[in-house]
Chain A
């Protein structure tokens, strides 16, 4: 063997390197062990948090065990004077691969099938309940235009040609009787606590993404489409709305506020807006 190859004696270096890989796992799990998520404020969000917690725990264990094993293997193999285990049998190879591969894939798929899909269905599959508060949010560079349908429960027609950034930002057709009692605002939404909110998302220019970190809500608003989402706020307070899809220079300050109010306060607030 070439004399220039590094020695394979159990050196301080080998120990250190083995330890550093092991420490990477220990540090990672210790660092990740605290709660990082913004405090929860919605019903379906509990499901998302359960999903994330499941993953943080199972993947955290895999991550830790993986790094400890890697560190151990390095330390062990670096101390060997000769090859002690040359070629594994085919059978051993298949058994180890199948066992550990299936373990990891079943952790991943079990998460999706047992926790993930039910939550996904709750969020997308449920038809909006009758008492839901209907709100339309139209993203624009760099404003969230908010509209409530008013007493009649119906939004007035809109037409892009009527859009005027200062007087009529979403182009409401004032000749439509349904438009008469529509309430419009910018960057501010109020909703009653514990009642479903049915949010219709539109965009008049770019793709935006309506992101409520505390409520675990995120949905793109895309020109030409009107996706609807339903969520139930469970905590009174004011929560920030952020844009989560790059939409231009002001993307980083396309900020809105969601006020979750008691049923009474919400009714009063809505009257004041008229």
Chain B
């Protein structure tokens, strides 16, 4: 009854919506079509990724060869590289902006907003998002946010330099570090805009998944990609607003004399500050209340996508679909209540430390099950090692490796030695860096034919995979061991400490591997650009996949499904049915035509 009402109401509205808007601007620029918005997000995010990667190159040049001069780079970036030497203030801005851009403006935009927008309506059988205008607004606010963040490089003092976590007082007192002059203000404004945009997007995801599913698309017939976006969007809606509040509070501390995060008696650069009564720890709680769920907001879609690609390239159903859904839910709940594991040595009560330790390691249960089920999905399958599948296998390997590092860091006792060392840097690069990066690439190679009607080169894709997987693993696996040796993060150089002398050679290896990794991404950009223009034309369903987006043209028409919305009869993993026409059975095939197994 409810389903029919929704369909009628939507069908009526969508009737008009099927007509494509005329004019270039309404179609491709200020578009309310979720597919256009998704692609806009993806292209914006890829641009930001290029910026973020170039910052990483400079970081690795400095850490690999701390006393070398780079006169040529100095000519390119005279503000940050003086006489060929990267200055400490520029280095801190590099570290801060690399983290911020990669987490919030690359992975969030491409994987969460980009593919989320593109895939959710197509995979649940809707014509568009529940609120198309809000969706468009979300993109334009996101673009504004990215521009404000980029602009911060050009203001007095340069970009923010207090780390991507922006702990006050460093981020609150303008004389504390050059980046805290105007760069930090821009950073906070950009973050507030980013969260506003993510909130609009998240509302759309939840509303669309709840109310616009096609007939027969029950929750338990949704692809795990949609499930992961659903859980991620709920987490984002609950966890992000506190940081908006915190950002506004910090802006007030910076410019209007309030003292939310600043206690009395602080003396900076010889000046006694007038603040009193605040607590720097409050920011850490508010930041990590967003920051930790954010990790799951980014990583869950990568895992969901990996789960959806496994059946396509093994030609058999996913192992443990229902269990995977329950695991996502469990992670969604537990992920909200473990933020304190970032603060074990912060001066927070040691009793909280014990709680956060036990709770954090509980997440191991759903996450280990999730990983095991992904691996079990390979068993008995007919594996096809296409490019998207290679990246999916990479996701499994990185998820395991990064997850095991989490067993160290979630443990307060072990964290006492490892906190704020390169162990942490290695760990989170495997998780929110590696799993999400490989998941993003898997998604791009897999859905590129659907999005642009052309296929990417398989050969270049495989070259790209190996030039990503091996150097990435080398860089960040080795960093774990730098951390065990006690190497602290956010250091401009490691030359002054005797106990770190032995790490110099390792840092050179890591830098070389990082440069190979970056060079490997050129293969991807070339493949992406070339395929966009010259790629082989793609048919409707080049991979033989069973989900709804593969039942419509490549690229799908405006309104996605023509005049009749699809009706769903089965789960999304119906492969290699015995009495079926092909080795895949789309979700729209009725039980009369082929048996339903779930």
Contact = CB atoms under 8 A, between A and B. Distances in A.
Interface string A14-26: 1001001100100
A207 B170 contact: yes
Nearest to A113: B358
| A84, A112, A253: most-surrounded residue (chain B CB, <10 A) | A112
Interface string B57-94: 00000000000000000000000000000001100100
B407 A87 contact: no
Interface in A11-46: 13-14, 17, 20-21, 24, 28, 31-32, 36-38
A66 B413 contact: no
B416 A218 contact: yes
Given A74-B378, A220-B345, A104 B266 contact: no
Contact of A116 (B280, B345, B357, B575): B357
Given A21-B393, A48-B414, A105-B368, A5 B386 contact: yes
A240 B484 contact: no
Nearest to A110: B361
A66 B419 CA distance: 26
Contact of B89 (A7, A31, A119, A249): A249
Interface stretch (B20-28, B33-41, B129-137, B489-497): B489-497
Given A48-B417, A255-B497, A116 B411 contact: yes
Contacts of A163: 267, 270, 272
Interface residues of B, number: 113
Interface string A66-78: 1101100110111
Nearest to A69: B375
B280 A222 contact: yes
Interface stretch (B105-113, B216-224, B313-321, B586-594): B313-321
Interface in A202-244: 204-207, 209, 211, 213-214, 216-220, 222-225, 227, 240, 242-244
Given A21-B393, A219-B345, A86 B372 contact: no
Interface residues of A, number: 111
Contacts of A255: 496-497
Nearest to A10: B383
Contact of A206 (B169, B279, B544, B575): B169
Contacts of B481: 31-32, 36
Interface in B469-514: 470, 473, 477-478, 480-481, 484-486, 488, 490-494, 496-499
Given A224-B279, A252-B88, A100 B369 contact: yes
B176 interface: yes
Contacts of B376: 88, 96
Given A52-B417, A63-B404, A77 B382 contact: yes
A252 to B, nearest CB: 4
A153 interface: no
B364 interface: yes
A220 B199 CA distance: 33
Contacts of A101: 364-366, 368-369, 372
Nearest to A98: B369
A63 B575 CA distance: 31
Contacts of A244: 419-421, 488
Contact of B314 (A77, A107, A117, A223): A77
A78 B396 CA distance: 16
A207 B280 contact: yes
B247 interface: no
Given A69-B375, A86-B576, A8 B382 contact: yes
Nearest to A11: B385
| B268, B378, B488, B491: most-surrounded residue (chain A CB, <10 A) | B488
A5 B543 contact: yes
B526 interface: no
A161 B499 contact: no
Interface stretch (A120-128, A175-183, A190-198, A266-274): A120-128
Given A38-B486, A80-B383, A120-B354, A213 B411 contact: no
A2 B350 CA distance: 59
A127 B378 CA distance: 54
B420 A245 contact: yes
A205 B266 contact: yes
A240 B497 contact: yes
Nearest to B324: A97
Nearest to B455: A4
Contacts of B269: 141
B345 A218 contact: yes
Interface string B386-413: 1000100100110011001001101111
A129 interface: no
Given A80-B383, A251-B491, A223 B265 contact: yes
B266 A77 contact: no
B345 A36 contact: no
Contacts of A199: none
Given A223-B169, A224-B263, A242-B488, A14 B383 contact: yes
| A77, A164, A216: most-surrounded residue (chain B CB, <10 A) | A77
A140 B266 CA distance: 10
B576 A77 contact: no
Contacts of A51: 411, 413-414
B491 A252 contact: yes
30 contacts: A2-B543, A24-B397, A32-B480, A67-B397, A69-B375, A70-B378, A70-B396, A73-B379, A77-B381, A78-B385, A83-B380, A83-B381, A86-B380, A96-B373, A97-B373, A101-B368, A105-B361, A112-B357, A116-B412, A120-B354, A163-B272, A218-B416, A218-B419, A224-B279, A225-B263, A244-B419, A244-B421, A246-B162, A249-B88, A255-B496
Interface of A: 1-2, 4-8, 13-14, 17, 20-21, 24, 28, 31-32, 36-38, 47-48, 51-52, 55, 59, 62-63, 66-67, 69-70, 73-74, 76-78, 80-88, 90, 93-94, 96-98, 100-105, 107-109, 111-113, 115-117, 119-120, 123-125, 140-141, 160-161, 163-165, 171, 204-207, 209, 211, 213-214, 216-220, 222-225, 227, 240, 242-253, 255
